[in-house]
């Protein structure tokens, strides 16, 4: 059996959480990540018959029964993952009843998965129904994206359009746009259900006055989606109070999207 601490998926979690903390996106215990793993790969590092304990997931995830995830812990700080992954991360498998998770590794100091686990699992189900390759769900609090929530209408067409105007690459990186939810109580099934509904259309969902959810096929894609939104939001916040002399025109966005062959939200443009 290989050493779990050397597993690529543990290394990825260590690197991405450290990077997100360094960028200031995940203060204190803010932010959470879940990553659906390949069962055969996990079996190289863990005895899949050894269940440490069971954990209530908070809802019925029957569509994910048997699926294995590595998940950041509740109340854990991203900055500590790199030094003590076994305390701050856990590997769980959705049990046959669909409502509990079997802990296979981690949370060794009595921890449990993020309180946003229902929202993550609901989002995984939604994204898998659209794209079976989507394996990562990432929630974070990027500074400029959050600041933009306070000075821009929380309308997903207008919000997306503004972001697309900020950087030439935006319509190419997230041509499906950005979903937007109003402020809602976090840690509840209600916000999880609302997020999952948006995830049927979008890989990115803004939680009003809170942060953003991103989904993708791997860590790089998911992080890159959020990173691109954050750069666009930063440019917006640096320029919103100034006279707009230049902008990327909608006709130019069409030119970009069609040149790169992406399926963009035509209804989010003003043509």
Catalytic residues, by residue number, are 116
Contact between residue 123 and residue 199 where contact means Cβ atoms under 8 Å apart = yes
d(CA 240, CA 231): 14
What residues have CB less than 8 Å from 171, skipping those under 6 apart?
164, 253, 256, 257, 262, 264
C-alpha pair distances (Å), 221 with each of 143, 146, 172, 184: 20, 21, 13, 27
C-alpha pair distances (Å), 58 with each of 73, 74, 98, 188, 210: 15, 14, 10, 9, 22
- Residues 165, 160, 35, CA angle at the centre, nearest 5°? 120
């Amino acid at each position: 059996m290989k050493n779990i601490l050397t597993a690529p998926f543990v290394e990825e979690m260590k690197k991405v959480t450290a990077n997100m903390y360094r960028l200031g996106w995940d203060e204190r215990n803010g932010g959470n990540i879940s990553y659906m793993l390949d069962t055969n790969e996990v079996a190289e590092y863990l005895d899949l018959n050894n269940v440490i304990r069971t954990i209530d997931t908070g809802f019925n995830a029957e569509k994910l029964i048997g699926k294995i995830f590595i998940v950041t812990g509740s109340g854990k700080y991203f900055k500590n993952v790199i030094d003590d992954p076994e305390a701050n991360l856990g590997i769980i498998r959705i049990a046959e009843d669909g409502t509990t998770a079997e802990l296979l590794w981690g949370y060794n100091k009595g921890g449990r998965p993020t309180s946003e686990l229902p929202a993550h699992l609901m989002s995984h189900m939604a994204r898998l129904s659209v794209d079976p390759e989507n394996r990562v769900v990432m929630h974070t609090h990027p500074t400029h994206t959050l600041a933009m929530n306070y000075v821009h209408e929380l309308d997903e067409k207008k919000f997306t359009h503004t972001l697309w105007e900020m950087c030439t690459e935006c319509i190419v990186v997230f041509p499906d746009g950005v979903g937007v939810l109003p402020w809602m109580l976090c840690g509840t099934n209600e916000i999880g259900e609302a997020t999952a509904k948006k995830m049927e259309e979008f890989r990115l969902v803004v939680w009003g006055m809170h942060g953003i959810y991103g989904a993708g096929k791997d860590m790089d894609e998911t992080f890159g989606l959020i990173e691109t939104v954050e750069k666009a939001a930063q440019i917006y916040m640096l320029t919103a109070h100034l006279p707009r002399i230049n902008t990327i025109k909608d006709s130019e966005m069409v030119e970009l999207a069609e040149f790169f062959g992406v399926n963009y939200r035509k209804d989010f443009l003003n043509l």
